[in-house]
Chain A
Amino acid sequence: MYKQPSFWLTLIALVVFFAFISYAQKNFDAYIIRIMNVAAIYVILGVSLNLINGFTGQFSLGHAGFMAIGAYASALLYMSPELKAMNFFIKPLIWPLNRIQIPFFPALLIGGLLAAGAGFLVGAPCMRVKGDYLAIVTYGFSEIIRVLFNNLQSVTNGPLGLKGLPTYTNLWWSWGWAVFTVFFIKRLIDSSYGRALKAIRDNEEAAEAMGVDLFYHKTLAFVVGAFFAGIAGGLLGSLVMTIDPNAFNIMLTFQIVLIVLLGGLGSITGTVISGVLIAVLMEWLRIVETPMKIFGITIPGISGMRMLIFSIILMISVLFFRHGILGDREFSWQGVISFFKRRQSNRGG
């Protein structure tokens, strides 16, 4: 492993990347840092959903629900008792949550683990359903979570949500988790488990006939995907400083699905690219919502135009780029090296 050039190239790339992250955190404009944080969270969400949808072939629409669990669980653990008391002014927060305050990292992990638990609860019964029916079941689960959180006043503060959350999320946290997510899921996909997941995607009956435990592997995909969605939810809550159940609605799930579809079902590299792309576009496209002058003509800003443009992007990608940016292709150092070798031989010839 250590003798392979790809290992050292990856290591060098990571060192360079985190040196850049360190520089960015210290020197970049706060607004750019924010977009970079959102991009990292989108990468985590996209890659984790791709594990379920792209690699295992299970059409899930429950990611927003897993995010909500992670966001609320971690927030309720890292918030100070004073901040909790200020937020819960209708019904007091239940004991012992009203007393507990733990550091950000363990709070995030617990949020992720609780989301993973929910992933198991969803993944296990979903053995009996496939395709569109699975999508409906997982969407139903996501809505159940949202409605539950809207009504559990003494646990989640109901629809009022939690405000003024401390901002722990920075580039180290967000991109650290993004890199770990990509690394973990890449390793999982390249392992025997990953091959089993792909076999399930390609032909469930054949995979089962070959001895693949469908229940175990499908549930594994849901649990791992949900864990990282929970982590992303926790990071997002601390970044935005405000969470409420209605923030985790179907629109958020569609946004994550858009990232996966644009990147390519079954492509981690594509998902990373589209995650960053959509985070940047989400902010950059705000210009269409503000008044602007083109050739001396003032065009009024139309609120809500951003989402219209995203809908058009989704339609175009579904119609013309059915396999997304990269299809199921992945970045590899071998590919980069052979690309440069080809260019050199072309020049030589």
Chain B
Amino acid sequence: MRRFFLVVLMVSAALMFAAEVTEVRIGAGWEMTGPIAGFGQMSWDGVKLAMKLRPTVNIGGKDVPVKVILLDNKGDKAEAANVARRLIDMEKVVAILGPCTSSCALAAGAIAEQKQVPLVTNTATNPLVTQNRRFIFRACFVDTLQGELLAKFAWEEFKSRKVAIFVDVAQDYVVGLANYFKRAFAKFGGKFFEVYYNTGDQDFSAQLTYALAQNPDTIFLPGYYAEIALICKQARELGFTGNFLAGDGADAPELIQIGGKFVEGLCYTTYFHQDADLSPKTKPFVEAYVKEYNRRPDAFGALAFDAYNLVLDAIERAQSLDPVAIRDALAATKDFAGVAGMISFPPDSGDPVKPAVIIEIKGGKPELKTVVRP
């Protein structure tokens, strides 16, 4: 009998040892190379800082180390799906951070939803990313809000009445944001027309010649920083003197590096600025970021920082590494203090209600213009 109990004790001890959590594996699938590598690099910097400040998560009274496995999706839809699959199937992650862009997030999200692993994108703003998907969340605002905000800004601040919209037809985010802008701008009574290009295009003279012939007072650029900078440069060279307006895709240091003096005066919406008082966590984050990287924090890094902490917060509340339990805890998030604003998820939605920041390029620097709270 004693031997029997001894065997039972040994077996249960072995099982307990086997079941003991040694690390929490979180996946990160970002655009580290390719046409929008800047977004991925900034996001990864945000997560690296978050890992340094919070390297463990408390499960069952024990501090378990967190390991983030980074994979590059190259800014490519198919590769984003491959990365999500690899993170889930091989790396056995309990949650995924990223991608940054809506096209990649839609592709990766389809895999995450199918495999029932929560995915938190830091900056994918297209409404379709989370639509009818239980396992997909975001740390940013949505393009419906951003489109309305930009249309209002164009109408009231710029006094725009005729807008040329440059649409990158290869990106869901750009197409979506352009549509929401058009809808809102039309309500104000504004006129607009569209011209099209593709990710990676370098020469926009044909589109600009057509656009400028119609005398727009504003050019709206809902694309990504590389093309935005080139369009601004070429538009000014062709004699355009009106305003430039852009979405959050403009928010990268490369915008100024590529565009230089030609992007001066450009206004764009984003999620974060170091001078914006978005939450009690903003100031400490800015200080930590500057100390770590010796440069001002950016919106992509800030939201990646928030996404990481959001997942860790959900794991601690779930007290589990079961992806479904983590998903349920994420969905139940209320008043989470992120560095880019408070995060609460409405019932049956992965879209938080977030403030937006409007930035203006002044003297070659992105300066805070205003904060718009919903």
Contact = CB atoms under 8 A, between A and B. Distances in A.
Interface of A: 29-31, 34, 86, 89-90, 150, 153, 158-161, 163-165, 167, 240-244, 246-247, 283, 286, 289-290, 301, 303-304
Given A150-B198, A159-B169, A160-B172, A167 B114 contact: yes
B72 A289 contact: yes
A246 B69 contact: no
B77 A163 contact: yes
Contacts of B103: 160
Given A159-B198, A163-B106, A246-B170, A89 B128 contact: yes
B110 A164 contact: yes
Contact of A30 (B37, B76, B89, B128): B89
A150 B33 CA distance: 22
B172 A241 contact: no
A247 B198 CA distance: 14
A242 B128 contact: no
Interface residues of B, number: 34
Nearest to A90: B175
Nearest to A147: B198
Given A90-B169, A163-B107, 17 more contacts: A29-B89, A30-B88, A30-B89, A31-B89, A158-B170, A160-B171, A241-B107, A241-B110, A242-B80, A242-B81, A244-B78, A244-B170, A247-B77, A283-B86, A289-B72, A303-B37, A304-B33
Contacts of A303: 32-33, 37, 72, 74
Nearest to B114: A167
A317 B79 CA distance: 27
A189 to B, nearest CB: 32
Contacts of A31: 85-86, 89-90
Contact of B107 (A86, A89, A242, A304): A242
Report, nearest first, the 10 A-B pairs whose CB atoms are least far apart: A159-B170, A31-B89, A31-B90, A30-B89, A242-B107, A164-B110, A303-B33, A303-B72, A303-B32, A247-B78
B90 to A, nearest CB: 4
A301 B30 CA distance: 14
12 contacts: A29-B89, A89-B175, A159-B171, A160-B172, A164-B110, A167-B114, A242-B81, A242-B110, A286-B71, A286-B86, A289-B71, A290-B71
A244 B77 contact: yes
B150 to A, nearest CB: 19
